[in-house]
Structure 1
Amino acid sequence: MIIDPNTGKPLTGNDTTAAQPEGIVGAGDTAAPRQAEDANTYIIDVDMSNLQQVLEASMQVPVLLDCWSPSSESCLALTPVLEKLAREYAGGFILAKLNVEDNRDIAAQLGVQSVPDVKLVMQGSLSGNFTQALSEAEITTFLAQHQVLPAAGGGPNQSDQAAQALENGDLDTAKALYQQLAQDAPDVPEYRINLASVLVAEGNGEEARQLLDSLKPEDRDGAKARGVRARIDFISEAPTPEAVQSMIERNDSEARYQRAMRDLADGHYELALDALISLVKTDRQYGEDLARKTLLRVFDALGATHELTVRFRRQLFALMY
């Protein structure tokens, strides 16, 4: 049964004598998705005859309960996306589809007030839900936030999902995915380096540094790890926002450099690179060639193939030669 985590009361009845739903094998504690002859094994239509067994399966595998209506345009747009993900996750979760117009009593028991209403059931309890037609990326983020990941060999590339989440500023999702990847593949240093990047973005630079220090020497000293270390250093070296504000009217080399460092710490790399290139052009001697040296550190942080690295390295070369 689904247990309401707020009240501790069941949202469904506890009749366990109903027929076993197609696509689920076993019963009670052993319920689990059958190995698929085709990917639709993980997509199940739910009614009163099989609801309890589907919910019992959540003790072994997450169940995404899609409460939908054929008269809702939002539902008609959302359901194909959910079905696509169910096939791609290949057993990472079961998609259970409940037509609320045909099953009004169940919908009332579940507290469905409008559709779509997609409920995530894990270990017999309601873990979360959403009530609008989310995009595929938003749904995968929702699933990752609840530790619902593709089965081995299935689903979207988790590394790509994590990278996209980090780019979008969704640090919780990126962190959960990289932690899982690092745990599943401890011999792949890239996952721990990327996790360190997330920690830096969270403001946990010291924890990130310790994680990098735990790598093998050849990985610890590689370009990607050096880049993360550079970002940690930029944050530690940058003036506070208040200090930058106090020099906002100044246009001397020191003020320009400090503003660039603040931009680096805030992740505004293009602004910082523009300022540093300008400083190299107008005051090469400032800080014993400090602007040029900092540019090289930024290139290291971004990586050799990053668009900003390629563009500004070309500008720096033109200034030097």
Structure 2
Amino acid sequence: MPIVDPRTGAPLNTPEGSTQTSAASADPANYIVDIDMSNFQQVVLEGSVQTPVLLDCWAPWCEPCKNLMPVLEKLAHEYAGAFILAKLNIEEHQEIAAQLGIRSVPDVKLIMQGQLYDQFQGALPEKQIREWLAQYIEAPQDAPASPEEQAEAALAAGDAATAQAIYRQLVQENPEHYDYQVDLASATLAGGNAEDARSVLDNLPPEHRDAPKARGVRARIDFGDEAPSAEELASLEGRDDSEARYKRALRQVADGHYEAGLDALLALMKADRAYGDDAARLTLLRVFDALGADHPLTVAYRRKLFALLY
């Protein structure tokens, strides 16, 4: 049975001469299988009719492959036979790799019912792989949280130190996955160390340093720098002029009270659009950048801003 890409209908040629035996069993020893010419037919083609197969195409010289493989092996054990992890060393088995059209690694293909259902290239984060896999295979009910989810839970609980430790480990294991470094900067900022957070961002490659996620963390750092101190805030007590209202809004945003800060900026914009050369509107846009385009507050307050403008 050929592997067919359902999106194009084109068959993927498979190696000839491989054995025609039954699919791999769900015995724990067979969750992870090294693929060669002798078992490709059995494990990948026939085996995928009964059990989905995750075909991990890798090479010994590929550093991202070395980062990805332990994650896939961990998931294979967690899923306990719900899928088979088939590992193909493209250096040792170039004929198979050529017939599968492998051009770069890591290349991970999900084979089900003898067909290519989906695939991804590169060493994706564990959380993203879990989400991708869950589209096709039901995750175990007792599956542990991914490191990313553990870090997010720690931040939500106010434990920035634990989140930093998790992200440092992820950065060490995945040095070319720069989003982890941005996450580390964010957790470092949450822990109260703005300068270290800024240093992490400054050391990113330019294309990642200027990406929306990193810009958002930098915006939060800048809000902390710009917001009035406790002493200055106390000196504004009783004042309701535009400057006082703006500075109080900045402090709210810097302290993470985003909704209150956004409301205050919208109110100031409505009352005194000219203040600070349109400072309220421009600061609203910076808050949206800090939160991210998909954040519920960004979505809601963009609508409010649009309604106010038009």
- TM-score when scaled to structure 2? 0.54
1:165 equivalent in alignment to 2:154: yes
* Unaligned runs of at least 5 residues, structure 1: 1-35, 40-86, 91-153
Identity %: 57
Aligned partner of 1:180 in structure 2 is 169
1:217 equivalent in alignment to 2:206: yes
Matches within 5 A, 1:78-97: none
Q: 1:316 aligns with which of 301, 305, 308?
A: 305
Q: Deviations over 1:68-113 (max 9, x none)?
A: xxxxxxxxxxxxxxxxxxx9699xxxxxxxxxxxxxxxxxxxxxxx
Judge conservation of contact 2:161–2:191 (CA < 8 Å) in 1: no
Aligned partner of 1:284 in structure 2 is 273
1:300 equivalent in alignment to 2:289: yes
Question: Following the alignment from structure 1 to structure 2, what is the Cα–Cα distance between the partners of residues 89 and 209?
Answer: 39
The residue identity in structure 1 corresponding to 2:215 is R
Q: Deviations over 1:43-83 (max 9, x none)?
A: xxxxxxxxxxxxxxxxxxxxxxxxxxxxxxxxxxxxxxxxx
Q: Secondary structure of the residue that 1:215 maps to in structure 2?
A: coil
Q: CA deviation at 1:246?
A: 2.1
Q: Secondary structure of the residue that 1:286 maps to in structure 2?
A: coil
The residue identity in structure 1 corresponding to 2:218 is R
Question: Following the alignment from structure 1 to structure 2, what is the Cα–Cα distance between the partners of residues 275 and 254?
Answer: 12
Matches within 5 A, 1:17-56: none
The number of residue pairs the alignment matches comes to 177
1:238 equivalent in alignment to 2:234: no
Q: CA deviation at 1:210?
A: 1.2
Question: Following the alignment from structure 2 to structure 1, what is the Cα–Cα distance between the partners of residues 237 and 303?
Answer: 29
Aligned partner of 1:60 in structure 2 is none
The residue identity in structure 2 corresponding to 1:198 is A
Matches within 5 A, 1:147-158: 155-158=144-147
Question: Following the alignment from structure 2 to structure 1, what is the Cα–Cα distance between the partners of residues 272 and 224?
Answer: 24
Q: CA deviation at 1:248?
A: 2.3
Question: Following the alignment from structure 1 to structure 2, what is the Cα–Cα distance between the partners of residues 155 and 185?
Answer: 20
Question: Following the alignment from structure 1 to structure 2, what is the Cα–Cα distance between the partners of residues 201 and 213?
Answer: 17
1:201 equivalent in alignment to 2:205: no
Judge conservation of contact 1:165–1:171 (CA < 8 Å) in 2: yes
Question: Following the alignment from structure 1 to structure 2, what is the Cα–Cα distance between the partners of residues 176 and 267?
Answer: 22
Aligned partner of 1:228 in structure 2 is 217
Aligned partner of 2:248 in structure 1 is 259
Judge conservation of contact 2:185–2:198 (CA < 8 Å) in 1: yes
The residue identity in structure 2 corresponding to 1:271 is A
- TM-score when scaled to structure 1? 0.52
Judge conservation of contact 1:226–1:301 (CA < 8 Å) in 2: yes
1:271 equivalent in alignment to 2:260: yes
Judge conservation of contact 1:253–1:286 (CA < 8 Å) in 2: yes
Question: Following the alignment from structure 2 to structure 1, what is the Cα–Cα distance between the partners of residues 197 and 161?
Answer: 15
Deviating above 2 A after TM superposition, structure 1's stretches of 4 or more consecutive aligned residues are 36-39, 87-90
Question: Following the alignment from structure 1 to structure 2, what is the Cα–Cα distance between the partners of residues 197 and 275?
Answer: 25
Aligned partner of 1:151 in structure 2 is none
Question: Following the alignment from structure 2 to structure 1, what is the Cα–Cα distance between the partners of residues 236 and 146?
Answer: 46
The residue identity in structure 2 corresponding to 1:238 is A
Q: Secondary structure of the residue that 2:294 maps to in structure 1?
A: coil
* Unaligned runs of at least 5 residues, structure 2: 1-27, 32-76, 81-142
